Amino acid sequence: MYEFSKTEQDYLKAIYQIQEKTNGLVGITELANYLKVAAPSATEMIKRLAKKGLVDHKKYYGVSLKTDGYQEARFIVKSHRIWETFLVEQAGYQIDEVHEEAENLEHASSRKLVERLYALMDFPKADPHGSEIPADRFWESSVIEINLSQGEIGHRYEVITISDEIGEFLMDLTLGQPKFITVIKILPDGSVIVKLDDETRFLIPNFQKTDWELKYYSH
């Protein structure tokens, strides 16, 4: 389903990363310099990617990513940054040792593997260099939906829906709908203490039968 060569992935990633900084079309010369290849080979490769519908090439102006190319680039960037995070946090690497390893691992990892590692590390927001890890999900088969009251203490969940009752309750607290919450404690009366990513903690009363639905990535 996802048939990309290592070179294709490197080009898509390079365009993505240049655009992360500049936001405009990426010139062929700029791209060639970034990848340390000759301009004619960059032109050849861009033609190939354009034929596959992954990039848009406007002669004399430059290249941009189309939807499928953008998706693959985001995935490779996520794969790279997940591996760097994993190597530092779980495998005892120094920060300056991880980039080369991640350059290889990013291409060798399936979407499932990257998403499992992402869940295993509780959805890190940035890699050890401080670069943002894309929160997009590239593999969804391991998703389980549960209610807040079934939450596991200490686990961080993605919030998918909240009931009107809890929505109003949060509005009263001037909190919007949070994207992620961590379950801190479930009290005997069924109310739950949760924590937001910014460390704000609050108590959700036990509204009868109404609940938050949460997404849980099993691992």
Residues forming contacts to Zn ion in the complex (CB under 5 A) are 99
Is the Cβ of residue 95 or residue 153 nearer to Zn ion in the bound state? Answer: 95
Q: Give the residue closest to Zn ion by C-beta.
A: 99
Is the Cβ of residue 55 or residue 98 nearer to Zn ion in the bound state? Answer: 98
Shortest Å distance, C-beta 129 to Zn ion:
7
Is the Cβ of residue 103 or residue 165 nearer to Zn ion in the bound state? Answer: 103
Is the Cβ of residue 100 or residue 199 nearer to Zn ion in the bound state? Answer: 100
Shortest Å distance, C-beta 93 to Zn ion:
12
Shortest Å distance, C-beta 99 to Zn ion:
4
DSSP the chain: -----HHHHHHHHHHHHHHHHH-SPBPHHHHHHHHT--HHHHHHHHHHHHHTTSEEEETTTEEEE-HHHHHHHHHHHHHHHHHHHHHHHTT---GGGHHHHHHHHHHH--HHHHHHHHHHTT--SB-TTSPBPP---S--TTEEEEEGGGPPTT-EEEEEE--HHHHHHHHHTT----SEEEEEEE-TTS-EEEEETTS-EEEE---SS---EEEEE--
Shortest Å distance, C-beta 106 to Zn ion:
9
